[in-house]
Amino acid sequence: MKDHPKKERTLVIIKPDAIQRSLVGEIIVRYERLGLKLVGLKMVVPTAEQVEGHYTLDPNWRRVTGEKTIKNYRDRGLTPPSEDPLEITAKILKNLKKYLTAGPVICMVWEGAHAVELVRKITGGTEPRGAPVGTIRGDFVVDSYVMSDADDRAVRNLIHASGSVSEADMEIPHWFKKAEIIDYKVTREDIMYNKELENILP
């Protein structure tokens, strides 16, 4: 039987810059207050292999990210550094390995209805400069492609969040063993998800 939609899960990684800036609590509270449930949590120092493995789980990631970057340059009226999406992604991946192995990160699995989509909405778009006010990337970080290009580094945006349900399904087992994800109940789920609101009045 297919899982109920309330069981959707997504991977969030609090990146090294967020930990250095003491934003762990600020970030967790955003997902928690929405009503999502934390079902997995650990701190690790990733290896370069783990980081490369993570970003290349989806065979299309290199092409899609390269194309997205080329479009972003054009939208800003700039000439992209290369017309070849794969060449652009190779550079991004090199810098991502530096970024994510620089210190500890916190890996989390969040569960709830539309977890993937809602976590992305709260997190905001990839480039903090353009991320809307109210999102984590929009509220807590100053960075842009102009800055990351000038210094040949990855754009520092505090968080990784799975981009789709299929991405989440590949990413979660990349970071967590089955036994590290905990199936449990929290009482507020009765209010959020039960068909009837029961047992409120005596």
So which residues are the catalytic ones?
160
Q: Which of residues 1-60 bind ligand ADP (CB under 6 A)?
A: none
State in angstroms the smallest separation of the CB of 180 from ligand ADP: 23
Round to whole Å and give the CA distance between 64 and 109. 24
Among 92, 105, 119, 168, binds ligand ADP (CB under 6 A): 92
Q: Which does 135 bind (CB under 5 to 8 A by kind): ligand ADP, Mg ion, none?
A: none
Q: Contacts by 61-69 with C-beta closer than 8 Å and gap 24+?
A: 61/89, 62/86, 62/89, 62/90, 62/93, 63/89, 65/89, 65/92, 66/92, 68/126, 69/145
The answer to whether 172 and 110 have CB atoms below 8 angstroms apart is no
Per-residue binding letters, 121-160, with ligand ADP (x by CB under 6 A): -----x------------------x--x-----xx-x--x
CA nearest 181: which of 44, 43, 9, 39?
39
Round to whole Å and give the CA distance between 189 and 96. 37
Q: With CB under 6 A as the rule, give the number of residues binding ligand ADP.
A: 13
The answer to whether 136 and 158 have CB atoms below 8 angstroms apart is yes
Q: Which residues bind Mg ion (CB under 5 A)?
A: 163
Q: Which does 101 bind (CB under 5 to 8 A by kind): Mg ion, ligand ADP, none?
A: none
Nearer Cβ to ligand ADP (95/190) = 95
Residues that bind ligand ADP (CB under 6 A): 65, 68-69, 92, 96, 126, 145, 148, 154-155, 157, 160, 163
